[in-house]
Amino acid sequence: MESQHESFEYQSVQTLKGVGPAVATKLEKLGIVNIQDVLFHLPLRYEDRTRIISIGSLQPGQQAVVEGVIEHSEVRFTGRRGRGRSGRSLLCYISDGTGGLLLRFFHFSTAQQTNLANGVRIRCFGEVRAGAGKLEMAHPEYRRLADNKEEAVEETLTPVYPKTEGVHQSLLRNIAAQSLKKLNSDSLPDWLHGSLLEQKSYPDLAAALKSVHNPMPDASLTAIEAGEYPAQQRLIFEELLAHQLSMLQMRQRMKSARAKSHVVGQKKQAAFIKKLGFDLTASQQKVIHEISGDLEKQAPMLRLLQGDVGSGKTVVAASAVLTVVSDGYQAAMMAPTEILADQLYENFQQWFGNDEYECLLLTGKHKGKAREQKLAAMKNGAASIVIGTHALFQADVEFKNLSLVIIDEQHRFGVHQRLALHEKGKKGLFAPHQLIMTATPIPRSLAMTAYADLDYSVIDELPKGRKPVSTVVVSDQRRQEVVDRVANACKQGEQAYWVCTLVEESEFLQCEAAEETAVRLQQELHDISIGLVHGRMKQDEKEAVVRRFKTGEIHLLVATTVIEVGVDVPNASLMVIENAERLGLAQLHQLRGRVGRGEKQSACVLMYRSPLSAKGKQRLSILRETNSGFVVAKKDLQMRGPGEVLGTRQTGLIEMRIADVVRDEYLLADVKKASNFMQTHYPENIPPLIQRWLGSSQRFGSV
């Protein structure tokens, strides 16, 4: 066989016509460097250009190829001419004898204007829209046709590829066509063993790629969208397998390191639990047992702990911290916001502060001498427990003997950020144990795929005495009723939140809206103490307001979604979320979790602005029907897909080219079996398979 650098799949993309150094640089942004990258840059969707549709039969929303003769062409000006605000549109009216269509061009050259003159016959493709009295296409793709000459239409469905600035579909289609022309069953190695293909009756790799790039006209677009096209199935399976193997490799690398074994004495554990002042749930006890078992081993713990809002994950984390610090080692816990870090620090101070363990808080607000003193205490080991934000993995942060890393609300950090903190714990032979926690429920199928490098624990019950939050959905036309409800709750000694959601894609406007809401509510509720928290306030101002709310000095807290995590006030029993339709299911569920933390019956009012879209109506009704974060998560995944649920900063799943974990969940059991088969029998095929699908975006894990 040829060497890797000479073989077909590793030939530079610059061997293709039309790709010079400048174009190659642009293609590199899409991860396209060689021929294999071109072949595995798969279409997002397809357009049917295999037939010409008569203009008279067009429907709004339809994408279609039409042919017609230009009957009238004109340039129309809009706006106020002469004041720098005028715009020009080129309007062409075409007809094919069955009906008329308006083509609208907002950006055009003089040459285009000349080409699109009266009497010219053209073929164009675009999306049909309803215009003023006539159907129209805005900026269609088009070409002039010779008079009285029949021209062939496309023979296959037209692929639409993911693209980036400066890279057009025409270029991507051109390089894909060139690469596919060179492709045959011998030119591209198939890293899946034949027995796996036979079991599934999958086509060979070359045939599958050709078919997915250019499906035949009789291929059902519905079947393709559902991932049921046979050629797709083979590539979906291979991609899921590459991801699974990549994460298992990372796990093996991490587990190959040594970690310090820790065992906590039963008396210490019992004294700690007694100090909490409440009983642990059976679910918490089970997870504590799982984590204790991990910490006893000499391989690093790698565990994902998932628990609904208010299920008591922090206590479980504290038990793990106790095990490590009572053995003379350090533990660090990283939170995504300063408000949450402060909350955690208060809890840990309460649980550990009077013992022999020093608890320290490090966030971005700590500067100068105060920061230097904290860094020194971490480096010399005086600080046993360190709570912090992103500040924990800055270059000058050092630990003496960090043996446990806990990441709270992991979806807010990228994989690389959590690995950066892991690196700080590596001293000599030992690597730290890792516990990753999330209150954003992830369905088990997605968790087992997205986090195959981690063991998986779930707290699936709420502490005793907690009552489910009652959720109601009301129109903002009933705002006065909601204000009256807030007034009654506060007069009875309870506290409430009033959450202002994103008004526009601007933090400034969001904060401004919150300020206006606070002023208006203060005018309506004279006898009630109202506080305000938003993202543009200084950290110490936010902390002061939250502290006053916790002590009961403030009855009603008006806030932006900054309070989504971290504010824990058991006396707060009512939450109002304005413009609730603007938020996703997971975020609404997280916000709702700020109430219902005491023994009182709590309520969440989702106030929406009419008219409500079908999706908005669906989201709000799901929250009204269930308090279960796991049910919410499953619905959220179905509605938004895995990329958005896991967060854009995650690597791996969101970059999938053809697979969809929700749609293709039925394949996951077979993928797991295939990964075991390849690890046992064909380990040499694993690195090139991972490289093919993940390239440089595969998860990084080094120990």
pLDDT, position 3: 43
Q: What is the CATH number of the domain that holds 73?
A: 2.40.50.140
pLDDT computed for residue 537 by the predictor: 83
Residue 644 resides in a domain: no
Domain that holds residue 567: 470-626
| pLDDT for 678 | 92
Q: Has residue 508 got a pLDDT over 70?
A: no
**pTM of this structure:** 0.67
> Which of 153, 185, 217 is at the close of a domain?
153
Please indicate, yes or no, whether residues 509 and 404 belong to a single structural domain of this protein.
no
Give the residue-averaged pLDDT of 7-24.
Answer: 92
Residues 503 and 453 reside in one and the same domain: no
* Residue 1 within any structural domain of the chain: no
SS3 608: strand
Give the rounded percent of residues in the chain with a pLDDT score beyond 70.
Answer: 88
640 versus 608: the higher-pLDDT residue is 608
Residue that the structure tokens 């697979």 belong to: 659
pLDDT the model gives residue 415 = 55
Is 690 part of any domain?
no
Compare 654 and 583 and report the one with higher pLDDT: 583
- Does the residue 182 lie in any domain? no
Does 649 have pLDDT greater than 90? no
User: Is the distance from CB of 406 to CB of 321 less than 8 angstroms?
Assistant: yes
Identify whether 25 is part of a domain.
no
**Position 703 confidence tier, pLDDT thresholds 50, 70, 90:** very low
3-state SS, one letter per residue, for 288-319: HHHHHHHHHCCCCCEEEEEECCCCCHHHHHHH
Indicate whether 589 pLDDT > 70: yes
Considering 459, 478, 500, which residue would you say is the last residue of a domain?
Answer: 459
- Which of the listed ranges 78-92, 115-129, 181-195, 382-396 does the model predict with the highest average pLDDT? 115-129
What CATH number has the domain bearing residue 474? Answer: 3.40.50.300
- Are residues 529 and 602 both part of a single domain? yes
Q: Are residues 449 and 481 in the same domain?
A: no
pLDDT at 166: 86
**306-320, 384-398, 553-567, range with the lowest pLDDT:** 553-567
Assess whether pLDDT exceeds 50 at residue 650: no
| More confident of the two residues 197 and 104 | 104
Burial tier of 190 (Cβ tally within 10 Å: 0-12, 13-18, 19+): middle
> How many distinct structural domains can be found in the chain?
3
Mean pLDDT of the chain: 85
Assess contact for 259 and 299: CB atoms under 8 A: yes
Residue bearing the bigger pLDDT, 260 or 217: 260
Is residue 366 included in any domain, yes or no?
yes
**Mean pLDDT across the stretch 132-154?**
86
One domain for residues 447 and 475:
no
Res. 368 pLDDT band, cuts 50 70 90: confident
Q: What is the pLDDT of residue 509?
A: 61
What's the confidence (pLDDT) of residue 380? 94
- Are both 532 and 435 inside the same structural domain? no
CA distances from 635 to 200, 240, 618, 622 (A): 30, 22, 10, 8
Asked if 334 and 444 sit in the same domain, the reply is yes
Beta strand ranges found along 369-493 (DSSP E): 383-388, 402-407, 433-438, 455-459, 470-475
Specify whether 300 is located in the same domain as 364. Answer: yes
CA distance 325 to 47: 61
Note whether 439 and 484 are same-domain residues.
Answer: no
By percentage, how much of the chain surpasses pLDDT 90? 45
**Predicted pLDDT at 33:** 93
